[in-house]
Amino acid sequence: MGYRIDCLQYANWSEKIFRQMRDGGVDAVHVTIAYHETFREMVLQVERWNRYFERFPELIMKARTAADIDRAKAEGRTAIFFGFQNPSPIEDDIGLVEICHDLGARFMQLTYNNQSLLATGCYEEDDTGLTRMGRQVVAEMNRVGLVVDMSHSAERSTLEAIEHSSRPIAITHANPGFWHPALRNKSDTVLRALAETGGMLGFSLYPHHLRGKTDCTLESFCRMIADTAEMMGVERLGVGTDLCQDQPDSVVEWMRVGRWTKEIDYGEGSASNAGFPPMPDWFQDNRDFGNIESGLRAVGFAEAEVAGVMGGNWYRFFAESFGPQ
C-alpha cells in the first residue's frame, strides 16, 4: 500500500485525533507549530509536542526525514513533521534557521498574511517581493534543508521565492484560483512556475479555499485536481488539508490577529461568520482520507497517480528536501 501524507494540519491535538490519524491510515502529517510565535514561544510548542511523543509513543513519533515515515509505517504510527506558517520564530536572526531545522522544523512560510521581514503576504495591498533578508534566509533554508512554503504569500513574492530558491519550494495548502478565486488560492502563473521548478502543491480542504465552501462536492474537488494535473503534472500534487479540528474560535482569531493589531481582522471570514467554517461532509477528520482516494479513482486517475497524490509525491519531495544541500 502507498503512503498517506497530509502536508498541513493545525488541530487542537488530543489522543482522539492521534487515534483518528491511525484509523485513517495517515502515515505522516506536517503540523503547524507557529503562527506568530517568537523563537522562545515556538520552543514551547516543541516542548508540548515532546510531551505528546512521550505520552503516545504507540500512536505518533517525531520525524525528521522521509525514511522516518517508513519507520512510523512499519510500527503502525504516524510521523509528525513540524512547520511554521510565519518566519516569526527566526526573529531577525538568520542563525536561527539552522537551529529551527535542528529542532525538527521542515517547512517555513516566508509570510503569513502580512508583510514579514522576508516577503509580502497575500493580504497586503502592495507586494514588494523578497526583502534583502528574505533572499539571505532562502539561501540559508536551501543550505540546511528547511522548505520554503509560500501558501500565504502574495504573487510577486511567491514568484521571486521560486526563482531565488536553489531547491524546489512548496505551497503546502492552497488551491488553484482558476477553480475558486480566493485571495489564498494561486494563479496559473504561480502554479506553472512552481511545477517547472519541481515544486509541490498541496490541495487544501479549508472551506474558504473550496468552490462552494462547506458545500463543495468531492467530485468537484477531484475534478479540480485532475485539471491541475493537466497543468502541473500529477507528480507535483499532494494533499495539505489545513484541517483545524476541534479548535475553538479563539484560535482562528490568534491566527488572523496575533499581536499585530488591536482591531479584529476577519481574514477569509466575516463578522457574521467569524469562526472556523464547517468542513465538507466527505472530509470531517483524519478518518476520511479514503474518501479522497475513492474520489480520485472516480474521476479517472490511475492507481499509481492516486498513490502519488495521496502521499507518494510528498514522500519523494520530503526525501529530496529535508537534508543539507
Interface residues with a copy of itself (CB under 8 A) are: 39-40, 43-44, 46-48, 50-51, 93, 95-96, 98-99, 102-104
Q: Which is nearer to a copy of itself, 50 or 189 (CB)?
A: 50
Residue placing its CB nearer to a copy of itself in the complex, 93 or 188:
93
Q: How far is it, in rounded angstroms, from Cα 173 to Cα 9?
A: 9
Closest approach, Cβ 102 to a copy of itself, in A, equals 6
Q: How far apart are CA 10 and CA 151, in angstroms?
A: 14
CB nearer to a copy of itself: pick between 95 and 212: 95
| Smallest separation (angstroms) from a copy of itself to the CB of 48 | 8
Closest distance to a copy of itself from the beta carbon of 44 (Å): 7
| Identity of the residue, 294 or 325, whose beta carbon is nearer to a copy of itself in the bound complex | 325
Closest to 210 measured CA to CA, from 233, 179, 251, 189: 179
Least distance to a copy of itself from the beta carbon of 35, Å? 20
Long-range contacts at 99-104 (CB < 8 A, ≥ 24 apart): 99/39, 100/39, 100/42, 100/146, 101/144, 101/145, 101/146, 103/43, 103/46, 104/46, 104/62, 104/63, 104/64
User: Please, is 93 exposed, middle or buried when counting C-beta atoms within 10 Å of its C-beta (0-12, 13-18, 19+)?
Assistant: exposed
Dihedral of CA 188/194/198/201: which sign?
negative
| Spatial CB neighbours of 86, under 8 Å, sequence gap ≥ 6 | 34, 35, 36, 109, 111, 112, 116
Min dist CB 94 to a copy of itself, Å, is: 9
Report the nearest approach of a copy of itself to the CB of residue 103 (Å). Answer: 6
Under 8 Å between Cβ of 289 and 4: yes
Q: Toward a copy of itself, which CB reaches closer, 103 or 117?
A: 103
Q: Which is nearer to a copy of itself, 99 or 274 (CB)?
A: 99
Query: CA-to-CA distance for 62 and 233, rounded, in angstroms?
Result: 31
